[in-house]
Amino acid sequence: MPHRARRRSNLWTNVNMSDVPFWLYVVAFLLVLGPLVFVHEYGHYIVGRWCGVKAETFSIGFGRRIVGWRDRRGTEWKIGWLPLGGYVQFAGDRDAVSQPDAEWQNLPDAERLQSFPAQPVWKRALIVAAGPFTNFIFAILILAGFAALSGVPTNPPVVGSVIAGSAADEAGLRPGDRIVAVDGRSMDRFMDIPMAVAHRPGETMDIRFARGGSEQTIRLTPRAVKEQDRFGNVFERGLIGIGPGEVVFEKVPLLEAPLVATRQTGQIIRQTWEVLGQLLTGNRSIKDMSGLVKIAQVSGEAASLGAQQLVFLAALISINLGFINLLPLPMLDGGHLLFYGYEALRRRPASLEVQEWAFRFGFAAIVTLMLVVTFNDLASIGVWDGIARLIG
């Protein structure tokens, strides 16, 4: 036993973790994921209530119940021991992923009318879509708060400096040039430029800029630059080699802040969509995908910097959670919406056999994805290298 304990200690000594205490990773992870899961599931729940559907179970986490209670509407609220998600199970659902119970049509009339499968397709679609969109709304509220209280950078998209030998320098950009568009995407603020470029190293793009009253278009390729943050994490991003002038932060009026936050959310969704396209086309390695272990790591690191950084991280994860759930993959909300779209067009639902096979495919795909991202996460913190060193 002493020998085995010593080997385990050596393994974790070799893992590339920061000086953040382990307990903070756990606490920060729960502080981020718990509220985001609640927000997502509450979106389903509250819209279901508005549509007259009875929720039988509202669960944060899976597995055996740790604590719980039943409200006056008959809904069981509970917290499960495995805090990796959550679900709302409506009347007529067979399971936590809203597969219809084969016996729902045999329920008494009053109960059947309150069941999920009995609702018209537009109501079911609204209830399902409410979860991801509530995540987006939650993120918008957080980003609006930051915009109103801390401000946002308002520098115009004007080149303040050009790094010698960079892609921008070689393409002919000069200080004072105003970047009008990147690949047809208009640039309103300087910060729009890295949002359009950072995730596209090695991809040639068109840069339209204004100089001396006329506009010109050049083609350049952002260069991949590896950087290291204060925690020792190494990441790569694309840079064209320009900088702004003096960065100016301005607080946004309270009524305008939600509009600014909505725009920021849209930019993040667009960037996430483009990264997904890179993964599907092979232009980005699947090693760049991350999962729950990585979320725990960055949550702990953000928490060590203060509550403000942790809340901002929660907004970013909330946007990604909403986006992922809208993907048209069975078991996810987007998969359900895909079937509802089919039902709306064909005036009848897909056959139970087709839905069952789609469910199996979705389950296999999600399990495979979870294994891949967990493998990547463990590699990113050096677990596999640590094991290799111990074995060697």
Active site residues: 41
Residue found under tokens 């049509």: 105
Q: Which among 71, 93, 85, 135 is positioned nearest to 269, based on CA atoms?
A: 135
DSSP assignments along 122-183, one per residue: HHHHHHHHHHHHHHHHHHHHHHHHHHHHT-EE---SB--EE-TTSHHHHHT--TT-EEEEET
- C-alpha 123: how far from chain center: 25
3-class DSSP state of 240: coil
Count CA atoms closer than 13 A to 270's CA, side-chain side.
13
Which residues, including other chains, have CB under 8 Å from residue 274's CB and lie 6 or more apart? 199, 200
- CA distances, 191 to each of 198, 268, 381 (Å): 11, 12, 30
**Distance between CA atoms of residues 203 and 193, nearest Å:** 15
